[in-house]
Amino acid sequence: MKKEIKLGLVYRDMWQSSGKYMPSVDELLKVADPIISMGCFDRVETNGGGFEQINLLRGENPNISVRKWTQPFNDAGIQTHMLERGLNGIRMSPVSRDLRRMMFKLKKIQGTDISRTFDGLNNPRNLKLSFEYAQEGGMIAQGAMSITYSPIHTVDYYTKLATQYIELGAQEICIKDMAGIGRPVSIGLMIKGIKENHPDIPITYHGHSTTGFSVVSALEAARAGVDYIDVGMEPLSWGTGHADLLTVHEMLRDAGFQLKDINMDAYMEVRRLTQGFIDESLGYYINQKNRYMNSLLIRPGLPGGMMGSLMADLEKNLKSINKWLTKNNKPAISQDDLLIKLFEEVEHTWPKVGYPPLVTPFSQYVKNLSLMNVIQTIKGKERFSMIDENTWGMMLGTSGQLPGALDPQLIAMAKQQGREFFTDDPQDLYPDVLAEYRAKMKEKNWDVGPDEEELFEYAMHPPQYEDFKSGKAKENFQADLAKRKSAAGAGGKSAIPATLPIPVGAGALQPKSMVVTVDGEKYQVDIAYPGEPAASGTSNTTGAAAAVITSDSPGNYVTSPLEGKFFLTKTSGEKAVQVGDKVKVGDTVAYVESMKVINAITSSHAGTIAEIMVQHGEDIEEDSPLIKIV
């Protein structure tokens, strides 16, 4: 008798891996019945991950979306599943115990059957509560192992990790190859080993097609005994997404496996509707680079889903690097040069920070640190001379134990800077919050909703929920979409890159002030642009000198190490530096948010703060003066 392979459609991840937004609830309801009519799916990924935050950013209520979107599948007997990030729940930062527990109970009530739970470090301790709470809430607890390729991430490592997950309560295992770099034979051996040890545990293979391995991996997985294989479908298959349903279906049938038939009329309807969502609005948030596979990612192992933001980061930093090279009489480099330097640096840096699996958010941390190392070494500085706070947290253990050992140089740096390593349970760092948010909702006269689902949403995504409630989120989304359509031209029916050129005066990141040297004298210059009000001290829209900084006047300047957004503190409870404070060399005086992480700005001078020259939250350019010290 032929072995049956069941298929899952990762409709949420198809969008998540391609762009920024999911379809609206009305659009999802249009596509639900045709997906069911295709007749070939036993499971559909409906929510989790960034789904609810994206709903809020669009100005939609995610609780209504989840309830309505899962209902047709529930009625048809197709299992629904969500992606859950363990300690982080369904957001990018850690959440409390009470919020994690509430999530599973609520999502089951709303119609989600399976919780696919992963931890960015593959740390079993971080997942124990998720497995426990999922079963308590009536969901199937599926443990997802983040697949990467390194000297420590071996077949034996993953086979043993699956056993650890199962012993902690996982009822199923998912091979989550988020970067598509798992070698096909190794994928097969992992599944074979897990099946030998746990023959009754269902296993899913989930592989992105980024590097081209996933089709072969799906075949190896099937031969090794896998139960479910996740697929995508046109027009969002391939690229950084997933292998296409038609390809996988035909390949597995040819190999002798049993699969359900595909209703091609329904397939074409799902394809037509999905393309319509792209043409109408969501294509304006899809970076075209995400539609291509890239074998260059095999060696660094970065997930293809971050290629859009990665290329935007490279473009932004390339301008800064070439400006510095030109100023120092050195030849400029191309974006391809910078890309290869980054990939090579990831291979160097990744082992030194303990081989964290390159999955959200740790893939971003490794990428950002590697890019900073490239920038610093190009400018003749030492590697690791600038490490963002998020990466420090990862290295210090506040997210859990790293799979590998931290480099001795980084351990020494941490001790030198007075940073403490954390070895206890990371969950203990985050006290319960539901009572606090229940009180806030009462003060605002906000309804906690059926099954307290609105309370959950507020506690899980506080700033996004507040913008949703005020109407600001919907206004911002509609205004941004209109801007993107306008930039794309009349009609605007084709998908365009998510990173659009923004004209001056419409929110572009432009310097507001800078220090220039003329005949040996330094001038602080405020800058305004056409369509913007003049900055303080300027009398026209082209900019004017606001202050003279002479070599005779005492004072040194803390300048920005990179462009981004300036903050005096990184948390609301932190005390900001003030005029009159005394600082030493190396003291942290402010922060710059760049590439989605927070970087500390340290003083290169000792003395007293005489002036803070930038507003909290203001955009800053590299090398712009921030704080005057005398």
> CATH 3.20.20.70: which residues of the chain?
6-291
Query: 481-515: per-residue pLDDT in tens?
Result: 999 999 887 554 444 343 333 333 333 334 445 55
* Residue 270 confidence (pLDDT): 98
Dist. CA 290–CA 306, nearest whole Å? 8
The answer to whether 600 and 588 are in contact (CB under 8 A) is yes
pLDDT tens figures, 346-379: 999 999 999 999 888 898 899 989 999 999 899 8
- Is residue 524 a contact partner of residue 549, using CB atoms and an 8 Å limit? yes
CATH number for the 6-291 domain, one of 1.20.1050.10, 3.20.20.70, 3.40.190.10, 1.10.3720.10?
3.20.20.70
pLDDT recorded at residue 536: 40
**Residues in contact with 143: Cβ distance below 8 Å, sequence separation at least 6, in sequence order:** 117, 118, 127, 131, 162, 165, 166, 168, 170, 172, 173, 174
Could you give the CA distance from residue 324 to residue 292 in angstroms, rounded to a whole number? 32
Residues 6+ apart with CB under 8 A from 617: 565, 566, 567
Find tokens 């294989």 and name the residue: 229
Torsional sign, CA 379, 383, 388, 389: negative
Three-state DSSP state, 522: strand
Query: How would you class 514 by CB atoms within 10 Å of its CB: exposed for 0-12, middle for 13-18, buried for 19 or more?
Result: middle
Residue 217 CB partners (closer than 8 Å, separation 6+): 177, 182, 183, 184, 187, 188, 205, 207
pLDDT band, residue 307 (cuts 50/70/90): low
- Phi, psi for 182 (deg, rounded to 5): -65, 125
Q: What is the pLDDT of residues 543-593, one digit of tens each?
A: 333 334 333 445 688 888 777 888 888 766 678 888 889 988 878 888 888
pLDDT higher than threshold 70 for residue 308: no
User: Which residue is listed with tokens 């300027």?
Assistant: 538
Of residues 110 and 573, more confidently modeled: 110
**Looking up tokens 């043993």, which residue turns up?**
160
Give the 3-state DSSP-derived string for 429-454, with helices as H, strands as E and coil as C: HCCCCHHHHHHHHHHHCCCCCHHHHH
User: Of 215, 271, 223, 272, which is closest to residue 247 (Cα–Cα)?
Assistant: 215
Q: pTM score > 0.85 for this model?
A: no
The reported pLDDT for the residue numbered 217 is: 98
pLDDT tens figures, 400-411: 999 999 999 999
Give per-residue pLDDT as tens, 255-294. 999 999 999 999 999 999 999 999 999 999 987 777 888 8
Domain with CATH 2.40.50.100 in the chain: 556-630
Element (H, E) at 207: strand 203-207
Query: Does the domain at residues 556-630 carry the CATH identifier 2.40.50.100?
Result: yes
Contact by Cβ (8 Å): 355, 402: yes
CA distance 204 to 223: 13
Q: Is the pLDDT of residue 525 over 90?
A: no
User: Hey, is 599 helix, strand or coil?
Assistant: strand
Mean pLDDT of the 232-240 span: 94
- Strands (E) across 17-64 are located at 41-48
Query: What pLDDT was estimated at residue 311?
Result: 73
First-to-final CA distance of the chain? 83
Angstrom distance (rounded) from CA 598 to CA 595: 8
Higher local confidence (pLDDT), 4 or 552: 4
Query: Which of 456, 627, 498, 506 is closest to 555 using CA atoms?
Result: 627
DSSP states of 108-174: HHHT--EEEEE-TT--HHHHHHHHHHHHHTT-EEEEEEE---SSSS-HHHHHHHHHHHHHTT-SEEE
Give the pLDDT band of residue 526 (cuts 50, 70, 90): low
Determine if the peptide bond prior to 235 is cis (ω within 30°): yes
Q: Do 322 and 333 touch, CB atoms closer than 8 A?
A: yes
How many Å apart are CA 559 and CA 557, to the nearest integer?
6
545 SS3 class: strand
DSSP string for 329-397 = T-----HHHHHHHHHHHHHHHHHHBT---S-TTHHHHHHHHHHHHHHHHHTTPPTTSS--HHHHHHHHT
- What local confidence, expressed as pLDDT, does residue 93 receive? 86
Sign of dihedral through CA atoms 484, 486, 488, 491? positive
| Tokens linked to 311 | 């290329």
Q: How far is CA 237 from CA 36, 541, 630, in A?
A: 18, 48, 59
How far CA 210 is from CA of 12, 97, 555, in Å, comes to 17, 35, 52
Please give the pLDDT value at position 595. 63
**Rounded-to-10 torsion of CA 193, 218, 125, 388:** 130
